[in-house]
Amino acid sequence: MTQNTASEIRYDICAVGNAIVDVLAPCDDAFLTAQGLTPGSMQLVDAGQSAALYDAMAAGVEASGGSAGNTVAGVGSFGGRAAYVGKVADDTLGGVFTHDIRAAGVAFDSPVLTGGAERGLGTGRCLINVTPDGQRTMCTFLGAANQLSADDIDADQIAASAIVYLEGYLFDPAPARAAFEAAATCAHAAGRKVAITLSDTFVVARWRAELLAFIEASADIVLANEAELTALFETDDFDAAAARLAAMTEVAAVTRGAEGSVLLSGDGRVEVAAFPVDKVIDTTGAGDQYAAGVLLGLARGLSLKDAGTLGSLAAAEVIAHWGPRPMTSLEALAKEAGLALTPA
């Protein structure tokens, strides 16, 4: 980990996450049943399981993904300044990921894992099967992403970022969790904000106690969907769970699908409607792009309402097409909608 020095803000958001290339394909419910997959879930698989599922899937498309990577790509699409920390191997998919995230205007300089493919640690991939209603079911082989460690955290880069965004999936592998903790420590040492996404109900189930402890001790901003939030507090009472989360952190932003989202800070609570979409094609990346709008808004000092509205706009764009990253400039869409990207 490099030495921290005083630095002015160069980035709105610096995200730390699993560098993953997505493989997306259409499927029906019968395919999920035949493969023993829980609809709408994310599960980790090993190299053999990943290869077998890939062979069984329909023809699909490859697109750089990874939850936090998608988010900073969205920040870049808004015209924001973003950086990314993640681990790829020196293979074809690693080259695809590196090209795509840099093309989105995101700084990405994490050291590549050399010789990873030969050791069964190729660049991570997520096999995503999408049913006709747009719901995605994900099976992730972490590969090289699993090798992210505290040594990959550049304290100067963290200190130069208004918000450091941490992907809840990093609670799974121990070396990556160490990087997660190191990034949070660096951010607070520099007086920056730390944000975390709960990522998935399965992550919450595996690491509920650890997540609660981290949120209480280190998180300034928490993003979640309704299912993750209620799982975190083991209750079906959304309002009670939201109030508990708001009491633990400065800002909580919770998505509720077609019902929009709720953002809370202290005693303040705002509800933001979802943007209308003609047809939902693929919900992959919806939460990631929502996070892009919310985090950029908060980094630039917008109100909860305005930050949440940017999030809704970004989510609406991404669910209207295949893939987890914007295909239309979010900055242009915000301007068309009359949404401010900086405080008045």
User: Looking at the 3D structure of the chain, how many domains does it have?
Assistant: 1
Tell how far CA 339 is from the center of its chain.
23
Query: Is 199 inside any structural domain?
Result: yes
Region 245-267: what's the mean pLDDT?
A: 96
- CA trace torsion 99, 102, 104, 110 (10° rounding): 110
Q: Which amino acid is at 288?
A: D
The span from the CA of 98 to the CA of 157, in Å, is 18
| Amino acid 1: pLDDT | 40
Domain containing residue 168: CATH number: 3.40.1190.20
Query: Is 236 inside any structural domain?
Result: yes
DSSP, collapsed to helix, strand or coil, labels residue 89 as: strand
Give 142-183 pLDDT, tens digit per residue: 999 989 999 999 999 999 999 999 999 888 778 888 888 899
- DSSP string of 6-46? -----EEEEEE---EEEEEEE--HHHHHHTTPPTT-EEE--
DSSP, collapsed to helix, strand or coil, labels residue 108 as: strand
| Amino acid 6: pLDDT | 44
Q: Name the band, by pLDDT with cuts 50, 70 and 90, for residue 5.
A: very low
Query: Is 316 inside any structural domain?
Result: yes
Query: Is 248 inside any structural domain?
Result: yes
Percent of the chain with pLDDT over 90: 81
Q: What is the largest CA-CA distance in the chain?
A: 56
Query: Is 45 inside any structural domain?
Result: no
137 pLDDT higher than 80? yes
Query: Is 225 inside any structural domain?
Result: yes
Q: Name the band, by pLDDT with cuts 50, 70 and 90, for residue 7.
A: low
- CA trace torsion 175, 286, 81, 246 (10° rounding): -70
Region 189-207: what's the mean pLDDT?
A: 94
196, 223 contact by CB (below 8 A): yes
Mean of the per-residue pLDDT values of the chain: 93
Locate 54 and state its tokens: 């890939």
Strands 221-225 and 251-255: parallel
- Across 117-121, 168-172, 287-291, 329-333, least confident range: 117-121
Nearest Cα residue to 286 out of 262, 255, 308, 307? 255
Tell me the H-state helices in 190-237: 201-218, 226-232
Locate 233 and state its tokens: 């507090």
Locate 28 and state its tokens: 């029906």
Domain boundaries, position 249: 11-19+66-94+103-110+146-336
Query: Is 130 inside any structural domain?
Result: no
Q: Which amino acid is at 37?
A: L
Percent of the chain with pLDDT over 70: 98
The span from the CA of 312 to the CA of 260, in Å, is 7
Region 293-303: what's the mean pLDDT?
A: 98
Give 61-93 pLDDT, tens digit per residue: 888 889 999 999 999 999 999 999 999 999 989
Query: Is 27 inside any structural domain?
Result: no
Q: Name the band, by pLDDT with cuts 50, 70 and 90, for residue 4.
A: very low
333 pLDDT higher than 50? yes
The span from the CA of 40 to the CA of 134, in Å, is 10
2 pLDDT higher than 60? no
The span from the CA of 36 to the CA of 75, in Å, is 36
